[in-house]
Copies of this chain bind each other. A is one copy, B any other.
Amino acid sequence: MTRDRPTLEAVARRAGVSRATVSRVVNGSTSVAAGIREAVHRAVDELGYVPNQAARSLVTQRTESVALIVPETANRVFSDDLFFPAIIRGVGAELEAADKQLVLMMTGSAKSHDRVERYAAAGHVDGVMFASVHGSDPLPGALVRLGVPVVCSGRPIGGTTVPYVDVDHFGGVAHAVRHLVALGRRRIATIAGPQDMVAGIDRLAGYRSTLANAGLAEHVAIGDFTRESGIAAMKSLLAGDPALDAVFAASDMMAHGALLALRDAGRRVPDDVAVIGFDDFEISRYSEPPLTTVRQPIVDAGRTLARQVLGLIDGSGELSDAVILPTELVVRESA
């Protein structure tokens, strides 16, 4: 099918030089006479020569591409959550600048875990990024042991010592909850995220700690970051204590779910119940009412993620094993 492409050999013949010289020109070596260089370039253009990447990788041991692993749990990616798209955007931008290719791997099933490992082991990519990590997934650690450069988005749980970039969950939540307290709210609930992910765990910890400092009682319901789970959690929270006057949701989507459930229950926001989310997706500017939320720099996290692997790959510079990006409270009308 794919028409025969010209090889180095063909270009060399046409330019009347050796393959080695053509290779030098193509790779920008300086030690080539100007005249020859020009002749080679001409031959390259005329023939439409493009280096064969497989052959090149075979000898250089480099593929110039990096994998991004997205542990796609159907629930989350099938909702309109924009976390992964944002990560992908950040990673893509940074990789493009570095002229590397992005290989996207969505590992829904358990068996695909194996696939990923083989894939990286096959030397098909120069490095691997995890878009998020569930539980104490052994894969990142396994890859590290294989000698593959790896960086995770989100601090991995468990003993594994893998470099990661994360955001300041705890600080952001503390800020949000203190804001609620300052507003005079005393019955502050939380809709927490999944407790097998550091984002879920740390945000809940931030809530608990801040509330304890304020001497207030906890009201906790667990969700999975989706809007549907936010609706369900809000209902159960309301059932548990109808007099709640505030709720912190660990994701914007769950906050939107809370908004819907609250409206359904006849509560006004923020008059009766104040609501704060976590993410700051664009959609939150347009919710009813506009959502007060903790902004996390997801695209930035993606960029950083990419910069870290890239650094790991060419061993340049000193890289910290952990990068924590700041979060920021964005006050709108819901609290």
Contacts and interface: CB of A to CB of B under 8 A. Distances in A.
A80 B260 CA distance: 19
Interface string A163-195: 000000000000000000000000000000000
Q: In the assembly, how many copies of this chain are there?
A: 2
Contact of A105 (B61, B79, B82, B101): B101
User: A-side binding surface: helix, strand, loop or mixed?
Assistant: mixed
Interface string A293-309: 00000000000000000
Contacts of A79: 282
Contact of A53 (B51, B55, B123): B123
Contact of A124 (B61, B101, B105, B281): B101
Nearest to A85: B85
Contacts of A283: 80, 283
Contacts of A115: 99
A50 B101 contact: no
Contact of A5 (B3, B92, B123): B123
A146 B3 contact: yes
Given A54-B58, A121-B50, A227 B5 contact: no
A88 B104 contact: yes
B80 A80 contact: yes
A101 B119 contact: yes
A81 to B, nearest CB: 9
Contacts of A48: 121
Given A58-B52, A282-B79, A103 B103 contact: yes
Interface of A: 1-3, 5, 48, 50-55, 57-58, 61, 63, 65, 72, 77-80, 82, 84-85, 88-89, 92-93, 96, 99, 101-106, 108, 112, 115, 118-119, 121-124, 146-149, 227, 256, 260, 281-283, 286, 288, 313, 315
6 closest pairs, A vs B, by CB? A54-B57, A3-B147, A50-B121, A54-B58, A2-B147, A92-B106
6 contacts: A80-B283, A84-B85, A85-B85, A102-B104, A102-B106, A104-B104
